[in-house]
Chain A
């Protein structure tokens, strides 16, 4: 019963009125940060770090505040995905696929409550997983070398076909555009710049937040201008919010499976929440088959990515705490916070500083419950802000997008690039080419290439190295199956509907 006594220690640290107050503030701020397009969990947490120093918070209080913001942002990301078809942050990308169609059917309230519950289930199970398994799961990271990572990313791309479009070729084209954009920047294996035109701003490649905000938010503004604000797709009516018990019950297995998939994706360093929500959505889509209607606004399509990305957020804490390797962008920021507080995460953290680890775990549980309480009954309040008329809302979204992107690197170059991506998004949508694969290409393409290049360096260019371990072979088999299976099934089953309207 070590765990119970440890947990008691954690709650003892985290459950003072003051820290509870901090948790509530953090959850509230986090939800807003997550809901605003462009401001994701990582820059949200980074922006708030100075506040913890200004307030003179001690290590535990600072951690409670920051993890509340982190989990809050993961919850909040879904709100604008569902209501505006603009993901609030990158992991919420997949939620737009079914959440927005559901909202257009007049079930926005159902979608928000359901996704809130799914977020809770995912985050709660991941926190339990973190608590029970962290020390042993830390070893998983040692099993993944370049070949395994390459196969993992390949799996993600192989299951991409047919997503969000009636036309698989268009999906593939979009993914290739994304992969092409991902090659911009300094090539990490030779140290030489590629396709930068000598511009220092492009040396680190294209930030996917710039691409997301451009392709979604700015493109939306262009469409709005084109239609002179009439009949704009933005701004969804929200009726009475009731708790859709039937939907929650119907998606219970989806939530559990997605939590497991998301948690595992989160543990792998570098894969993070975006891959978690993507894998969770794809798993559920293939389990449901084409008759499951994924992409048309089904509850399972909302529950899967939300449970997946919130579970990944918890999973990403495992390698950060046990190895000091951040599993995602946000955990990298939390790592920075810990180091500034003179806490060095690593294999010995659990034994050396139990009060920090268990305080953190307890505060995650607290934040999670606060968020469920905050998000389900109060969802209407969060929604109000998005219910103002489109002609007020869109300029506001644009302004927030500009501020959010400017805060990334503090250079106007990113703003120009964001507008460029807006134009690209407008053109692609006119041609009925989905934009989601473009972003996944940018998001995962660089990592995939790095993994391949490292594998080739280690093996002196021997291709068989890519299939040299059982894990890699298993991932390759899954990837090939995921790519080939839809071709045979397509004739039997109905095609998914386009959601990029």
Chain B
């Protein structure tokens, strides 16, 4: 009796699990494991779309990690090219990898970028007891002895976090960039522990990765890579006002398959705009250190194309790719 009851429970549990992955209409692919930025994008946007009734059923989030988003990109391009119920999380990392040809030859025009509705400002961080008080101190120290400063960041070598200090150094007149030490660790928080622990001298990452450490007094943000100071973090100087004209933000947005109808594309753009305008999203941005950055619809594809061309040129110039 107990046995049969148990088996019945077991079966229903398994069925229940499969059912949740099957019924919902819209699907959001996060091209990474749970816990990262893309996962956040899918879960947060999906949740808000449902909360504000932009969609009827909860958006199902599928994690498809692999090849830094390449596996999901390939999946969308080759197998889901006309799926109108599919959205995929994207960010600067997507465009960086497309620009560096890291998706095995696939290009930015093989999908349609719907829009971005927030941006994570790039930051350069040092430990609280670091001798570097400004970006200038750091750049001068590297100019004097490139081996004296090592950066830690959450992306692999050649990734967006690695490019940020290289862009600043280039702006500061230091060109021997292969001498700059960089280690890629598992995420921004890990990069901070390495920096606070004194194993690396500076951390390069996104604002959202450092927010929870700021009030604790373990770290100092010596520069934020935006045009203007970020609201809510008004005491953090921009790189620009310190004489290094570098702007690098990690936008958060979506792309959809290439083959869907224009009407469907506009529908998704509309829903994304609704999320962008919602107070829930404003709160989520505030809690996670995102700055407002809304570009939705037709003009966003142009922005992405420009970004890909820029990063491609810059990566070649910096020697990250051939």
Contacts and interface: CB of A to CB of B under 8 A. Distances in A.
Interface in A120-177: 141-146
Interface in B1-16: 2-3, 6-7, 9-10, 13
A188 B50 CA distance: 37
Contact of B159 (A54, A146, A191, A269): A191
Given A32-B10, A142-B197, A47 B17 contact: yes
Interface in B167-201: 181-187, 189-190, 192-194, 196-200
Nearest to B46: A53
Given A50-B58, A200-B66, A344-B288, A29 B157 contact: no
B118 to A, nearest CB: 14
Interface string A247-291: 000000000000000000000011000000000000000000000
Given A203-B67, A344-B287, A50 B193 contact: no
Contacts of B102: 191
B65 A457 contact: no
Interface string B301-317: 00000000000000000
Interface residues of A, number: 56
Contact of B194 (A48, A145, A203, A346): A145
B47 A325 contact: no
Interface residues of B, number: 70
Given A53-B58, A335-B35, A346 B150 contact: no
Interface stretch (B68-76, B226-234, B240-248, B266-274): B68-76
A336 B189 contact: no
A113 to B, nearest CB: 18
Contacts of B147: 460
Interface in B278-312: 283-284, 287-288
B42 to A, nearest CB: 10
A46 interface: yes
Contacts of A325: 187, 189-190, 193
A49 B66 contact: no
B60 to A, nearest CB: 7
B197 A143 contact: yes
Contacts of A326: 35
Interface of A: 28-29, 32, 46-51, 53-54, 141-146, 186, 188-191, 198, 200-201, 203-204, 269-270, 323-326, 332-333, 335-336, 339-340, 342, 344-349, 381, 384-385, 409-411, 454, 457-458, 460
Given A143-B197, A342-B284, A409-B71, 15 more contacts: A54-B20, A146-B199, A186-B68, A200-B67, A203-B66, A203-B68, A324-B189, A332-B35, A336-B36, A340-B47, A381-B6, A384-B3, A385-B6, A457-B183, A458-B150
20 contacts: A46-B63, A49-B61, A50-B58, A53-B50, A143-B197, A144-B197, A146-B183, A191-B157, A198-B104, A200-B104, A203-B66, A204-B65, A339-B35, A339-B40, A344-B211, A346-B211, A346-B216, A347-B215, A348-B215, A409-B71
Interface of B: 2-3, 6-7, 9-10, 13, 17, 20-21, 33-36, 39-40, 43-44, 47, 50, 58, 60-68, 70-71, 74-75, 102-104, 147, 150, 156-159, 181-187, 189-190, 192-194, 196-200, 211-213, 215-216, 218, 283-284, 287-288
